């Protein structure tokens, strides 16, 4: 059975964690598959959005125990290469030029929290639970930390990184880790609502918007940033997609990317 299911329908690429018997915990093989799947989804013709979901009771329990046993015997160089692969996978999700929607049911622990943090939009079931569990094992949430801090803020991240306490979906929403919390049976409804929204927007514009937010969030508001953002809007206005969007608005019709 494949650990990762990838399907495409009506412009939506769905990437599904499929290790339900292991609570969708990931190992080095799944990390490699996930990175490749998101890199492909970001540039595949016709793909307008990506959904990250999972089978079974858990979204992802983080690191697979058998993988962790192997890592315990790795040299420093081997551990470094392994951690870099995880970092590359998270970056592939976070930097995917298409909107990424995370659908979370059950547990999201350790690296599973990192997966959620890399999604542009995330909806969680009311019964979902979250935990930065690494310090219980004498390790740290190092590779996921930049994404987690950016998603839920430094203050909340500090608390949960040092206590390793469970927090529920309501708290995940309060910190900004997820955007909506609904009963399990309404997860698909929220997912589809967001998909309808993003499919109505300019594909290249959304990719640029993601890049804007990624850079602006980490930069001081100085002349360099202001000059760069001015250049970004100038490029979009002069682009074929930008011109088509403005024309369609003025002509009171749908733009070509919706009609097609």
Sheet of 121-125: strand order equals 4-9, 12-17, 49-54, 100-104, 121-125, 180-182
- Tell me which of 73-77, 137-141, 206-210 is least confident: 73-77
pLDDT tier at 243, thresholds 50, 70, 90: confident
Length of the chain counted residue by residue: 260
Identify the three-state secondary structure at position 63. Answer: strand
pLDDT tier at 260, thresholds 50, 70, 90: low
CA-based nearest residue to 200, from 243, 132, 249: 249
Mean pLDDT in residue range 135-140: 89
Q: Token digits for 196? A: 């309808």
Residues assigned a catalytic role: 134
Q: Give yes or no for residue 173 having a pLDDT over 90.
A: yes
The C-alpha angle with vertex 179 and arms to 173 and 182, in degrees rounded to 5, equals: 80
Look-up of token digits 């598959």: 33
Q: Give yes or no for residue 14 having a pLDDT over 80.
A: yes
Tens of pLDDT along 78-127? 888 888 999 999 999 999 999 999 999 999 999 999 999 999 999 999 99
- Please, are residues 24 and 54 in contact by the beta-carbon 8 Å criterion? yes
Mean pLDDT in residue range 18-35: 92
Neighbours of 119 (CB within 10 A): 25
Mean pLDDT in residue range 39-43: 96
CA distance 43 to 62: 27
State how beta strands 121-125 and 12-17 pair. Answer: unpaired
pTM: 0.92
**What domains appear along the chain, each with residue ranges and CATH number?**
4-198 (3.90.226.10), 202-259 (1.10.12.10)
């Amino acid at each position: 059975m494949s650990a990762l299911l990838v399907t495409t329908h009506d412009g939506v690429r769905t990437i599904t964690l499929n290790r339900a018997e292991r609570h969708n915990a990931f190992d080095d093989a799944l990390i490699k598959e996930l990175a490749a799947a998101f890199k492909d989804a970001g540039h595949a013709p016709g793909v307008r959005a990506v959904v990250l979901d999972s089978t079974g009771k858990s979204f992802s329990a983080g690191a697979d125990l058998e993988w962790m046993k192997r890592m315990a015997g790795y040299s420093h160089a081997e551990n470094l290469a392994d951690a870099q692969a995880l970092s590359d996978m998270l970056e592939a999700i976070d930097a995917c030029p298409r909107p990424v929607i995370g659908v979370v049911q059950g547990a999201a622990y350790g690296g599973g929290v990192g997966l959620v943090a890399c999604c542009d939009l995330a909806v969680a079931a009311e019964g979902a639970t979250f935990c930065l569990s690494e310090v219980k094992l004498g390790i740290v949430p190092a590779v996921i930390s930049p994404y987690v801090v950016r998603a839920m803020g430094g203050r909340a991240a500090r608390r949960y990184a040092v206590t390793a306490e469970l927090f529920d979906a309501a708290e995940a929403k309060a910190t900004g880790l997820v955007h909506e919390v609904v009963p399990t049976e309404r997860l698909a409804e929220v997912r589809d609502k967001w998909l309808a929204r993003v499919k109505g927007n300019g594909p290249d514009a959304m990719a640029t918007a993601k890049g804007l937010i990624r850079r602006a969030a980490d930069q001081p508001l100085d002349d360099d940033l202001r000059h760069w953002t001015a250049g970004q809007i100038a490029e979009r206005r002069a682009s074929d997609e930008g011109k088509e969007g403005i024309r369609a608005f003025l002509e009171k019709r749908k733009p070509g990317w919706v009609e097609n």
